[in-house]
Amino acid sequence: MKFQCPGCQAGFVVPDEKIPSGKGIRVLCPQCRLPIEFKGNPSNGQEEAQGQGRASSDGELAQIQEEMSLIDMVDGDVKTALICVSDEIRAEKTRNAAIQMGYYTVVASKASFAIKKLQNNHYDLIILDERFDSSKPSENLFLHHLQLVPMHVRRNFFLCLLSDQKPTLDHMLAFQNGVDLIFSTADLDKMKVILTRAIKDHEGLYKVFADELGRKGQR
């Protein structure tokens, strides 16, 4: 299926086999990172994609297939979470909490993979261990990457930082680290309850701002 971004007008192709039949999907523009939702019958899009495929070289098609393998195909109204935790046991507990909260989850064990996934998808929630793919928090490549994300992109996801040392709900430390919530690993069994409340408070705080951006078509 061929897509055209309403923001930057870039065109790109999603393989038909990655599109759920009869369901809407949400993809991220590979050019400007704008989330694009599609709802409806994909038949016309499939015909355009086939025409585009015939006009493309084998090299271009191979590149498209590689890029599309990084895209999560989910229904447009499904909330998504990226779990960036290297420890398998901790990652499983975190993933289970996110699933119980109703999120479609993707687990990353390496910073390079997490960065590529973020570049190709929109996530509503990111849960990041402060020692993710690093021996100490100061060397956390993915956290540094997120701290440099433009504000118009950053405000579209909730960022939770897991810590062995920092206390849960320490708002000052959260501000200093550029995250929305500090969560102690000692409280993992309470993650669903605490995180649900924190996200609800966060959404309530920014609701007026988000509604105004939506009214102006800037969200």
Q: pLDDT tens digits, residue range 12-38?
A: 666 666 666 666 667 776 666 666 776
> 122 versus 23: which is more confidently predicted?
122
Give one word for 52, left, alpha or beta, with left for phi > 0 and alpha for psi -120 to 50.
Answer: alpha
Looking at the DSSP bridge assignments, the partners of residue 160 are 127, 181
How much is the pLDDT for 68? 55
Residue spans per domain, the chain: 2-68, 80-215
User: Where does the pLDDT of residue 207 fall: very low under 50, low under 70, confident under 90, or very high at 90 and above?
Assistant: confident
Over 70: is that where the pLDDT of 186 sits? Answer: yes
CA–CA dist 147, 154 (Å, integer): 9
> 160 versus 150: which is more confidently predicted?
160
CA–CA dist 14, 61 (Å, integer): 11
CA–CA dist 21, 18 (Å, integer): 9
- Segment 136-151 shows an average pLDDT of 91
CA distances from 108 to 118, 171, 216 (A): 11, 26, 35
CA–CA dist 85, 131 (Å, integer): 8
How much is the pLDDT for 216? 75
Over 60: is that where the pLDDT of 120 sits? Answer: yes
Closest CA to 177 of 166, 192, 185: 166
Looking at the DSSP bridge assignments, the partners of residue 161 are 128, 182
Tokens 């500090």 identify what position? 182
User: Where does the pLDDT of residue 156 fall: very low under 50, low under 70, confident under 90, or very high at 90 and above?
Assistant: confident
CA–CA dist 211, 88 (Å, integer): 38
> 188 versus 5: which is more confidently predicted?
188
For the four alpha carbons of 149, 155, 157 and 162, in that order, the dihedral sign comes to positive
Q: pLDDT tens across 50-90, in order?
A: 444 444 455 554 555 555 567 777 777 889 999 999 999 99
How much is the pLDDT for 172? 95
CA–CA dist 33, 118 (Å, integer): 9
Most confident of 25-39, 140-154, 198-212: 140-154
Query: Is the distance from CB of 104 to CB of 89 less than 8 angstroms?
Result: no
Q: What architecture is domain 80-215? A: 3-Layer(aba) Sandwich (3.40)
Over 90: is that where the pLDDT of 102 sits? Answer: yes
Closest CA to 195 of 107, 106, 124, 137: 124
What dihedral do alpha carbons 192, 171, 114, 194 form, nearest 10°?
0
Looking at the DSSP bridge assignments, the partners of residue 173 are none
Query: Is the distance from CB of 45 to CB of 1 less than 8 angstroms?
Result: yes
Output helix, strand, coil percentages for the chain, rounded to the nearest 5.
Answer: 45, 20, 35
